[in-house]
Amino acid sequence: MKSNEEKPLVIIGAGIAGVAAALELAENYPTRKITIIERSTLFSGSTGRNPARMGHGFHYMDLETSIQYLRASIEVQRRYSQFLIGFGEATGRGRYYIHKQSKHSAEEILELYRGIQKEYQRLCHEDPLNQVFGTPNDFIRILEEREYENHVKADLVELAIETAEHLFDFPKFAAYIRVMIEANPNIHLVENVEVTNIQHWTDTDNRFSIEMKSTLSGHALAPIVSDYIVNSSWENIEFLNSKIGIPYTDGSRTNRLKCLLEVQLPVHLQNVNSSFFCMGPFCMFSNMADGRGMLTFADVTNFAANSGLTIDDRMEDYLTGNISSEEKAEISLKILHGVAAYIPGIEHSRILELHFGIVQTDGDLKLQDIHSISSGLHTRRNIGVRDENQGLISNPARKLFYFIYNGIEVVKILDMQFERELKIQELVAAFIKIRSTEDIKQLRIFIDRWIVGIENILTIDNELLLAKLKDDLQSHPSLHHLVSSVMTSTSPAFTSDKQTTTAIKSPSTATSAAVTPEISFLYKYPEAEIESLFLAPSGTIPSDGKRPCTALPWENGNQTIFASMIPTRPNSAGSIFLPASNSKSCGKPVQPTSPQPARR
Ligand SMILES: Cc1cc2nc3c(=O)[nH]c(=O)nc-3n(C[C@H](O)[C@H](O)[C@H](O)COP(=O)(O)OP(=O)(O)OC[C@H]3O[C@@H](n4cnc5c(N)ncnc54)[C@H](O)[C@@H]3O)c2cc1C
């Protein structure tokens, strides 16, 4: 059996979510190898196709989402303060123009903004290091018309508010992250390789086999194996999860295709504050402070929405740039003229690029929902990281700047999965009478998913867990027969079992060939490999001539089955863990061992 530590933990997707997970994991598990598989290049997905507004939640009419966004932005700013654009400069501050036809009244909006300001004040009071966006008093400021009338169509504006919100220099940040990844000996970034399939327990040693192809040559590559996957492939998360049988309910989340126009601004607009026209389907202008602007115009830029398992081919075409230059030009002009109704003169910008990316929200949402301000399109309350299956975590970044929380959540779930692994080993070990490899695979596949649904798993007594597992298997049409394979303290296993008793002879004849793959498989991740099994009188402390042996919990008459084991870690004594109620230790204590490395 290959040592668990040698296998990489695999992250699918090198967007902000995947990278944040990789960095947080590398810090918390300094000896673990991490492989990131990316079908294109670092940050080439939605992460690299947005203006990187480090929002404070001002464009959500949902205080919970706003506060979450504010807190997330504070975390990012505390860790990466060098990347904020125009901090300390008046033109760096984001402005919100409440439209006369706003879907919410100016009073309601102001009340929400005051709520966000109050939360900032509270956070600064709680920890002065949170005061990263200036003083709470300067957090928002109502503008006078003369402060904006020169570059904004003032007669559309009911109320104008300047905020402490800023943009983030994403290209500079991306270059910095690439250096960090390349400098980390434990993180291996594999670009231009797409994950095409994931298989679950196809062999007896590895939970997942990950199939891939080169996106440059189109050729299939040799699969890699891993026991832990962090699926960070954004719009493809559910599709890849479905490959190992994780069901997807249509309509449980929506992928919305959105586009963003990048322009070279005319000189007179190069110092204008980033502006959001709200609340409703209006427009946004982000000033990148280097002469470039990024624009959205809601009626045009929200392009398509899909809540099925996969995005459709047309959406995929836009994402991969499979769109004619005429169509691109037509969409770009529509956006430019749409925004010019709010910011006159912007139509004289030079069009640089039209980017398409995916925004994801909960529920089944249609494009027309963009007009309903109360629709779920406008909320992002949860971070979205999910414990899907033992060894599999879904990791979407619902907002770019939630990314630090993404990393923290992934580590938290993985910590729990590592602990849960021990429970699984103990449960699987109770099924010692199974001798069909296919049955063992099915059992492991079942437990890997079943265990996720059990709350407080780590505190539940093993006997109770086993009883529940037996019940649940009993009601599973194709797996109920496995229940008869559970070892109980009153049923001596193997006593009438010809196949096993032939394999288990005596120390002198026992070889590694005598260890059935099934038994090795039942005992995964101990600190030892079983080299041979043999029978010896119960109550003795036998040796196979090489090392002390451990008693397994099965007897054959007055003889006990012993295992000779090779430690798989340098300092390991070579112990194996067994169901506590069944174990009769002889020659070696029977102790659970931890499969994960010590955390810092
Ligand atoms: C127009 C637009 C504007 C936005 N504005 C903002 C904003 O101002 N502020 C903000 O906070 N958020 C904003 N967002 C949202 C933000 O961009 C996303 O929430 C975030 O980037 C998602 O990050 P991710 O890492 O989960 O996904 P991605 O960045 O898409 O990363 C997923 C990666 O997985 C790779 N991948 C997919 N399938 C496979 C596979 N089978 N094998 C290998 N690799 C695979 C992809 O190539 C991609 O690189 C905006 C989004 C859009 C589209």
State if residue 116 touches ligand 1 by the CB under 6 angstroms criterion: no
pLDDT band at residue 240 under the 50/70/90 scheme = very high
Range list of H helices, 157-275: 170-183, 237-242
Test site for ligand 1: of 36, 231, 234, most ligand atoms within 8 A of the Cβ: 234
Which of 6-15, 44-53, 374-383, 526-535 is least confident?
526-535
Task: Give 21-89 as a DSSP string.
Answer: HHHHHHHH-TT--EEEE-SSSTT-SGGGSS--EE--STT-S-HHHHHHHHHHHHHHHHH-GGGEETTTS
For residues 67 and 116, is the Cβ–Cβ distance under 8 A?
yes
Terminal CA-to-CA distance of the chain, rounded, Å?
A: 27
Q: How far is the CA of 49 from the centre of ligand 1 (A)?
A: 8
Q: Which atom of ligand 1 is nearest to the CA of 406?
A: 26
The response to whether residue 94 sits with its C-beta less than 6 Å from ligand 1 reads no
More confident residue, 396 or 91: 396
Q: How far is Cα of residue 512 from the mean position of the Cα atoms in its chain?
A: 40
Ligand 1 centroid to residue 572 C-alpha, Å = 43
For residues 115-129, average pLDDT = 97
| Ligand 1 atom with least separation from CA of 195 | 42
| Residue 422: per-residue pLDDT | 86
Ligand 1 centroid to 17 CA: how many Å? Answer: 8
Element (H, E) at 444: helix 437-450
Q: In whole numbers, what is the pLDDT of the chain averaged over residues?
A: 84
Check pLDDT > 80 for residue 306. yes
User: Over 50: is that where the pLDDT of 396 sits?
Assistant: yes
With a 6 Å cutoff on the Cβ, whether 396 touches ligand 1 is yes
Mean of the pLDDT values across residues 317-323?
A: 94
Average pLDDT over residues 336-349: 97
pLDDT on residue 489: 42
Task: Say yes or no to pLDDT of 162 above 60.
Answer: yes
Ligand 1 center–CA 45 separation, angstroms = 5
Residue 53 Cβ inside 6 Å of ligand 1? The answer reads yes
Q: 557 versus 585: which is more confidently predicted? A: 557
* Distance from Cα 425 to the centre of ligand 1, integer Å: 36
Share of the chain above pLDDT 90, in %: 66
Ligand 1 in contact with 564 (CB < 6 A)? no
Evaluate: CB of 195 within 6 angstroms of ligand 1.
yes
Closest C-alpha to ligand 1, atom 21: 47
Q: How close is the Cα of 399 to the center of ligand 1, in Å? A: 9
What pLDDT is recorded for position 368?
A: 76
Name the pLDDT band for 536 (thresholds 50, 70, 90). confident
The confidence score (pLDDT) of residue 216 equals: 97
pLDDT band at 170 (very low <50, low <70, confident <90, very high): very high
Q: Where are the beta strands (DSSP E) in 164-281?
A: 166-168, 187-190, 193-200, 208-214, 220-226, 229-231, 253-264, 275-278
Is the shortest distance between the CB of 398 and ligand 1 below 6 Å? yes
Residue 266 DSSP label: P
Mean pLDDT of the 466-480 span: 93
Sheet with 528-537, strands from edge to edge, namely: 528-537, 559-567, 549-556
Task: Give the number of the atom of ligand 1 that is nearest the alpha carbon of residue 402.
Answer: 11
SS3 448: helix
- Which among 49, 56, 100 is positioned nearest to 342, based on CA atoms? 100
- pLDDT interval class at 555 (50, 70, 90): low
**Is the minimum distance from the CB of 103 to ligand 1 under 6 angstroms?**
no
Does the Cβ of 232 fall within 6 Å of ligand 1?
yes
**Arithmetic mean of pLDDT, 420-438:** 85
* Percent of all residues in the chain with a pLDDT value above 70, rounded to a whole number: 79
Q: pLDDT (tens digit, 9 = 90+) per residue, 249-262?
A: 998 999 999 999 99
Integer Cα distance of 377 and 366 in angstroms: 9
Q: Which residue's CA lies nearest to atom 37 of ligand 1?
A: 233
As given in the structure block, the two tokens for residue 295 are 């624009």
Looking at per-residue pLDDT, the higher value among 484 and 499 belongs to 484
535 C-alpha to center of ligand 1: Å? 58
Tokens representing 187?
Answer: 């993180």
Which of the pair, 290 or 594, is modelled with greater confidence?
290
Report the DSSP beta bridge partners of residue 394.
231, 386
401 Cβ inside 6 Å of ligand 1: yes
pLDDT at 160 > cutoff 70: yes
Residue the block writes with tokens 């492939």: 233
Burial of 536 by CB count in 10 Å (0-12 exposed, 13-18 middle, 19+ buried)? buried
95 lines ligand 1 (CB under 6 A): no
- Which atom of ligand 1 is closest in space to residue 193's alpha carbon? 43
Report whether pLDDT(524) > 80: no
Atom 22 of ligand 1, residue of closest alpha carbon: 397
Whether ligand 1 lies within 6 angstroms of the CB of 328 is answered as no
- What does the alpha-carbon distance between residue 233 and residue 216 come to, in Å, rounded to a whole number? 19
Atom 10 of ligand 1, residue of closest alpha carbon: 400
User: For residue 367, what pLDDT band results from cuts at 50, 70 and 90?
Assistant: confident
Site to probe by mutation for ligand 1, drawn from 400, 402, 406, 409 as the one with most ligand atoms within 8 Å of Cβ, is 400
- Asked if residues 504 and 514 have their Cβ atoms less than 8 Å apart, the reply is yes
Q: Inform me whether the pLDDT recorded for 4 exceeds 90.
A: no
Best residue among 75, 355, 399 to mutate for probing ligand 1, ranked by most atoms within 8 Å of CB: 399
Provide the pLDDT for residue 533.
66
Q: Please spell the DSSP secondary structure of 534-584, one letter per residue.
A: EEEETT---B-SSSBEEEEEEEETTEEEEEEEEESSTT--------TTT--
Distance from the alpha carbon of residue 152 to the mean position of ligand 1, in angstroms:
31
What is the 358 CA–ligand 1 centroid distance (Å)?
6
Check whether 199 has a pLDDT greater than 50.
yes
Q: Is the CB of 410 under 6 A from ligand 1?
A: no
Q: What distance in Å separates the CA atoms of residue 121 and residue 140, rounded to the nearest whole number?
A: 12
pLDDT tens profile 559-580: 666 666 666 544 444 433 333 3
The pLDDT, as a whole number, for residue 430 is 85
- How far apart, in Å, are the Cα atoms of 282 and each of 107, 389, 419? 19, 41, 49
Ligand 1 atom nearest residue 18's Cα:
25
Domains belonging to the chain, first-starting first, are 4-45+172-250+383-415 (3.50.50.60), 86-166+252-372 (3.30.9.10), 430-486 (no CATH), 490-600 (no CATH)
* Mean pLDDT confidence for 347-356: 97
- For residue 306 and ligand 1, the question of a CB distance below 6 A is answered with no
**CA-CA distance, 552 to 516, in Å (whole number)?**
15
Taking 70 as the threshold, does the pLDDT of residue 418 lie above it?
A: yes
At position 477, the amino acid (one-letter code) is P
Nearest CA to ligand 1 atom 25: 15
- What pLDDT does 587 receive? 28
Lowest mean pLDDT among 73-82, 314-323, 418-427: 418-427
More confident residue, 587 or 51: 51
- Given a cut of 80, whether residue 325 has pLDDT beyond it is yes
In short, whether 354's Cβ falls inside 6 Å of ligand 1 is no
pTM here is 0.85
State the average pLDDT over residues 515-530: 50
Mean pLDDT, residues 191-198: 98
Mean pLDDT, rounded, for 43-57:
94
Residue 588 has pLDDT above 60, yes or no: no
CA 259 remoteness from chain centre: 24
Please state which of the ranges 334-343, 363-372, 467-476 shows the lowest mean pLDDT: 363-372
Closest residue CA from atom 41 of ligand 1: 195
260 lines ligand 1 (CB under 6 A): yes
Nearest residue by C-alpha to atom 11 in ligand 1: 400
Query: What pLDDT, on the 0 to 100 scale, is given for residue 530?
Result: 63
pLDDT value for 81: 92
Does 349 have pLDDT greater than 80?
yes
Report the helix count and the strand count for the chain, using DSSP H and E: 13, 24
Tell me, in angstroms, the distance from the centre of ligand 1 to residue 462's CA.
41
- As a whole number, mean pLDDT of residues 449-469 equals 91
Q: Is 50 exceeded by the pLDDT of residue 451? A: yes
If you take atom 33 of ligand 1, which residue's CA is the nearest one?
A: 13
pLDDT higher than 90, residue 372: no
| Among 387, 386, 385, CA closest to 457 | 387
- The yes-or-no verdict on residue 512 having pLDDT over 70 is no
